[in-house]
Chain A
Amino acid sequence: MPNSKGYRKGTRSKFSRAFREHGPLGLSTYLRTFRMGDYVDIKVNSSIHKGMPHHFYHGRTGKVFDVTPRALGVIVNKRVRNRIIPKRIHVRIEHVQKSKCRDDFLERLHKTSFLKNQAHKLKVELKEAEENKNNEKIEEIKKQQEEMKKSFRALKRLPQQPKSGFLVEVDKTAETPIQTLKPLKFIPHF
């Protein structure tokens, strides 16, 4: 007997409400605002029957391309055989949450752009100081620049590096501070 093709097939646990989280939604879901270009996670809320996306999209993240009175238009990628289609679906707000996928990136972006700004300002000040031949100021600025350079090195994200070397402490007071283990001689018992 083949698999049934019902719209909500296979959603017994996916669409079930969490333990002790049944019933009406808290109102913060309804108070959130979304803008076009925002990234959103689609998480179906099966107590709201309207505007429910197909269960394929549960757990997907997409970009908002449309905002209507009660729903959002989201572009989600779907792989169909040999290609990926950017699907456009309309989902009610209750089934959508703001995605944090961009947060880390944006934070880093703001930090680096802020520092870049600072560096640029210093550069401009340095130029000014050199024109005015203000030696004290030049030294001050150069010091600040050195400080900045140190922090710049830490800006780049590095993958996990191999562990650095460390010293193993040996209890010198013990009878055998370092025990050398050797394999036992193989005695064939057959």
Chain B
Amino acid sequence: MKFIKITKTKAYFSRFQTKFRRRREGKTDYYARKRLILQDKNKYDTPKYRFVVRFSNRKITCQIISSRINGDLVFCAAYSTELPKYGIKLGLTNYAAAYATGLLCARRVLVKLGMDKMFEGVKEPNGEEYHPEELENRRPFKCILDVGLARTTTGAKIFGAMKGACDGGLNIPHSTKRFPGYKEDNYDPQVHRSYIFGQNVADYMTYLQENDEAKYQRQFSRYIKEGIKAEDLEEIYTKAHAAIRADPVHKPKEKDPNLKPKSYKKQRLTLEQRKQRVLDKIEEARKKYQENQDNDDDDNDDDDDNDDDDDN
């Protein structure tokens, strides 16, 4: 055996200082978090809200969160898995879905605060830069975008969610620099608008239909199954925006009081079960040995003498 010098000695472990748990899990950027949470001390207990956008492989989460020492409080949340209710059944992680989820979250918050009539936002999205205006006696709900660990490139979907929230009436300070359609110091709202209505997806659909039918079938099989064509997408999203504005309130699912949540706990064996398991294993081994012996018997008769040396 090669000689390997152990670097992780007992001393290493006893001196090791672990990073924060969420840093170890790779989920939180504490450098950013500190700066997002920190409220001026001369504002005392005034909560500082962040508009948190997180993408998973299958869904988008938009939440409005304020921080407390005991833990963060989620004031309001919207998930892209709710979009089927508003007519968006597929493509729940694309740019248009991000926009819709952001919009849903924003409208929900405003309804919750009773401010939904005051801050309508942009009813027909056109991709143009929009910041809600202050009213005489009310300022728009302010929150700051919390991107998490996402890479803030131009055209990223996080900003789609943010745009949805801004158009919904929230005041999230931003500039157009990272929106799709920003190119060489010029912002083209039309490009952004096309993304908001899923035209990037639609264009790809038409492109594949013309050039590579097989791939089209594979890539958009579920769209085909639902009967959604490239031309339909814009309408779907327009209708969804309207539906969201009409009824953003979250209705919690009816919980069946008799239904116990599925327990993923690994059930430990009792003593009797363990003993039985041992006996079963012995029995199995014995059977297998017998089989092997029988097979050997059939093959060569000389080995009869060895049968006496049995187990037990």
Asked if A and B are interacting partners, one says: yes
User: A interface vs B, CB < 8 Å?
Assistant: 20-28, 30-35, 67-72, 93
A25 to B45: give the CA distance in the assembly, Å. 21
Closest residue of chain B to A71 (Cβ to Cβ) is B41
* A33 CB contact (under 8 Å) in B30, B33, B41: B41
Chain B contacts for A28, CB-based, 8 A: 69
Closest residue of chain B to A20 (Cβ to Cβ) is B17
In the complex the two chains form, is B17's CB within 8 Å of A21's CB?
A: yes
A-B contacts besides A20-B17, A24-B31, A72-B41, 4 pairs, CB < 8 Å: A31-B37, A32-B69, A67-B42, A67-B44
CB distance from B31 to the nearest CB of A (A): 8
Chain B contacts for A31, CB-based, 8 A: 37, 39, 67-69
In the complex the two chains form, is A68's CB within 8 Å of B41's CB?
A: yes
CB distance from B18 to the nearest CB of A (A): 8
Question: For the complex, is B3 an interface residue (Cβ under 8 Å from A)?
Answer: no
User: B interface vs A, CB < 8 Å?
Assistant: 15-17, 19-20, 30-31, 33-34, 37-42, 44-45, 67-69
Quick one: which of A26, A28, A33, A72 has the most chain B CB within 10 A? Answer: A33
In the complex the two chains form, is B33's CB within 8 Å of A27's CB?
A: yes
A26 to B21: give the CA distance in the assembly, Å. 11
Total A-B residue pairs with C-beta atoms closer than 8 Å? 47
In the complex the two chains form, is A67's CB within 8 Å of B37's CB?
A: no
Closest residue of chain B to A32 (Cβ to Cβ) is B69
In the complex the two chains form, is B67's CB within 8 Å of A27's CB?
A: yes
A25 to B41: give the CA distance in the assembly, Å. 17
Chain B contacts for A24, CB-based, 8 A: 20, 30-31, 34
CB distance from B174 to the nearest CB of A (A): 23
A39 to B39: give the CA distance in the assembly, Å. 21
Closest residue of chain A to B40 (Cβ to Cβ) is A69
Chain A contacts for B45, CB-based, 8 A: 33
Instruction: Report the 3 A-B pairs with minimum CB-CB distance, sorted nearest first.
Output: A69-B40, A20-B17, A28-B69
Chain A contacts for B38, CB-based, 8 A: 30, 70
Please classify the interface of chain A as helix (H, G, I), strand (E, B), loop, or mixed, using the class held by over half of its residues: loop
Chain B contacts for A34, CB-based, 8 A: 41
A172 to B69: give the CA distance in the assembly, Å. 63
Given contacts A30-B34, A72-B41, contact A20 B68 (CB under 8 A): no
Chain A contacts for B34, CB-based, 8 A: 24-25, 27, 30
In the complex the two chains form, is B17's CB within 8 Å of A70's CB?
A: no
A68 to B39: give the CA distance in the assembly, Å. 11
Quick one: which of A26, A27, A67, A70 has the most chain B CB within 10 A? Answer: A27
Given contacts A22-B17, A23-B17, A26-B20, contact A68 B37 (CB under 8 A): no
Quick one: which of B19, B40, B42, B44 has the most chain A CB within 10 A? Answer: B42
CB distance from B11 to the nearest CB of A (A): 13
A27 to B69: give the CA distance in the assembly, Å. 8
CB distance from B21 to the nearest CB of A (A): 11
CB distance from B23 to the nearest CB of A (A): 9
CB distance from B5 to the nearest CB of A (A): 25
Chain A contacts for B19, CB-based, 8 A: 23
Chain B contacts for A70, CB-based, 8 A: 38, 40-41
A83 to B33: give the CA distance in the assembly, Å. 45
A20 to B12: give the CA distance in the assembly, Å. 12
In the complex the two chains form, is B37's CB within 8 Å of A27's CB?
A: yes
CB distance from A51 to the nearest CB of B (A): 12
Chain B contacts for A35, CB-based, 8 A: 44
A32 to B39: give the CA distance in the assembly, Å. 10
CB distance from B208 to the nearest CB of A (A): 48
CB distance from B199 to the nearest CB of A (A): 42
CB distance from A93 to the nearest CB of B (A): 6
Closest residue of chain B to A70 (Cβ to Cβ) is B41
A72 to B37: give the CA distance in the assembly, Å. 18
A70 to B30: give the CA distance in the assembly, Å. 18
CB distance from B122 to the nearest CB of A (A): 33
